[in-house]
Amino acid sequence: MTFSDIFKSNFLANVAAVSMFDMVLALVLAFGLGVFIYLIYKKTYAGVMYSSSFGVTLVALTMITTLVILAVTSNVVLSLGMVGALSIVRFRTAIKEPLDIAFLFWSIAAGIVLAAGMIPLAVFGSILIGLIILFFANRKEHTNPYIIVLDCSDHDSEEKAMAFLKEKTVKCVVKSKTARKGSVELNLEVRLKDDNTDFVNKLSELEGVGSAVLVSYNGDYMG
């Protein structure tokens, strides 16, 4: 085969470039790994709003990547055209959770490795990645963080409220403080000793305390 023969386009030759058995096996395995990735994503998701469509996207992305790589590896001309076509594609969907990026790359990598014929690497590599994500994603803090929004009338009531919170909580840290004439607003991060939140009722009844709001805090934080 000469260099010019590589770039000759023969439609009938391309039809049989990938055998039916290879296509079926690769796509079935891609579907299986895609479902596995989807289940790991569903198990470890810790965001606010779960998106089932993103989970389906992971399955589809694994199969689509396998399909594309199978075509690319069978034809040099098609691989060059694919690089040019994909280089102009732009995705505008915002990724809200940082871990979602890892799942997207995982799906693409699994599809590429499967289409390259490295089935053991794709299967065992995906299992290992899934176990690692499960291990780290399921590690929870012993005490969940909360945010308390406190409205005090003056400095004395602020001191009483802070002393009360330090007595009733494991940790109490001021995150922000807004002082106005006749009013002091505090945002505090607290760690509760137990699941009992009745202390907020007593906190709001302290002299000089206008209101006390307890909010669950699910954001990233340093322990």
- Predicted confidence (pLDDT) per residue in 150-163, tens digit: 888 888 888 888 88
- Report pLDDT digits (tens) over 104-152: 899 989 988 988 888 899 999 999 999 999 888 766 555 678 888 888 8
Inside any domain, residue 129:
yes
* Domains of the chain: total: 2
CA distance 96 to 32: 26
End position of a domain, from candidates 80, 115, 137: 137
Rg (CA), the chain: 28
Q: Give the domain range for residue 165.
A: 145-216
Residue 200 has pLDDT above 50, yes or no: yes
Residues 110 and 158 in one domain: no
Residues 30 and 110 in one domain: yes
Q: Residue with structure tokens 């509760």? A: 192
Residue 2 has pLDDT above 70, yes or no: no
Residues 130 and 21 in one domain: yes
Q: Average pLDDT in the 185-205 region?
A: 84
End position of a domain, from candidates 90, 111, 137: 137
Q: List Cα–Cα distances, 96 to 2, 90, 93, 150, in angstroms.
A: 50, 17, 9, 30
Inside any domain, residue 223:
no
Residues 67 and 88 in one domain: yes
Q: List Cα–Cα distances, 112 to 36, 100, 108, in angstroms.
A: 16, 19, 6
Residues 164 and 62 in one domain: no
Residues 43 and 150 in one domain: no
Paired residues of 187 in beta bridges = 149, 176
Residues 184 and 203 in one domain: yes
CATH number at residue 155: 3.30.70.260
End position of a domain, from candidates 137, 161, 178: 137
pTM comes to 0.61
Residues 48 and 121 in one domain: yes
Helix (H) or strand (E) holding 149: strand 145-152
Residues 33 and 107 in one domain: yes
193, 144 contact by CB (below 8 A): no
Task: Give residue 35's pLDDT.
Answer: 94
Residues 119 and 154 in one domain: no
Other beta carbons within 10 angstroms of residue 162's beta carbon come to 16
